[in-house]
Amino acid sequence: MKPRIIISACLMGENCKYNGKNNIIDISQLKECFELIPVCPECFGGLPIPREPAEMKNGRVYQKNGNDVTDEFIYGAEQTLYIAEEKNCVAALLKENSPSCGYGNIYDGSFSGKLISGNGITAELLNSKGIAVFGESRINKLIELYSMC
C-alpha cells in the first residue's frame, strides 16, 4: 500500500484559487509514490470561489478589501488536520507562499508580491501536529523521505 499524503487541491488542477484558477503541477511521479488526498483549506473554511485575495499580517488573515477572515482560515485548517489524521497521512505537499498553505515563506500582507518568513495557517497547524509540510519545489525531498519509490 502506498503512503498517503495531503496535497493542496489547486496543485492537482482544481480551480479553487481565489481567482477561480489553479496552480497545476506535474503530479505523475507523486501519484506513483503516494495516495493523494486533495484539500483546499480556504474552501473548507466556507470561503467562495472566486474570492478576494488574502494575506497574513501580524498573525491574522485579511482580504484585500480589509475583511478579517482569520476564523475561516482557522476552521479550514482544522478540517484539513482532521482529514490528515483520519487518513493517516504521513506528510503534506502544500502550495508555496499561500496564507493557508505556504510553508517557510508567505506574502507580507501588503498585496505587493513581497515575501517574508512565515507559515500559512494550515501549514503551521499541520506542522505543529507532527505532519511534515513540503512546498511544491521540494517534491523530490518529499519522495525521498516519505515514499518507497
**Contact positions toward ligand SF4, by CB under 6 A?**
8-10, 16-17, 40-42, 95, 98, 100-101
Nearest distance from C-beta of residue 41 to ligand SF4, angstroms: 5
Closer to ligand SF4 by Cβ: residue 128 or 149: 128
DSSP state at residue 137: G
Cell of 18: 481565489
- Residue with smallest beta-carbon separation from ligand SF4: 10
In angstroms, the Cα distances linking 125 to 2, 45, 82, 133 are 24, 14, 11, 10
Nearest distance from C-beta of residue 98 to ligand SF4, angstroms: 4
Residues 51 and 149: their CA atoms lie apart, in Å, by 38
Whether residue 141 contacts residue 135, with contact meaning beta carbons closer than 8 Å, is answered with no
Closer to ligand SF4 by Cβ: residue 63 or 98: 98
Nearest distance from C-beta of residue 47 to ligand SF4, angstroms: 9
Exposure b/e, 23-57, CB count within 10 A at least 16 = b: bebebeebeebbebbebbbbbbbebeeebeebbbe
Closer to ligand SF4 by Cβ: residue 93 or 148: 93
Nearest distance from C-beta of residue 1 to ligand SF4, angstroms: 25
Closer to ligand SF4 by Cβ: residue 8 or 79: 8
Nearest distance from C-beta of residue 115 to ligand SF4, angstroms: 15
Cell of 57: 499580517
Closer to ligand SF4 by Cβ: residue 15 or 128: 15
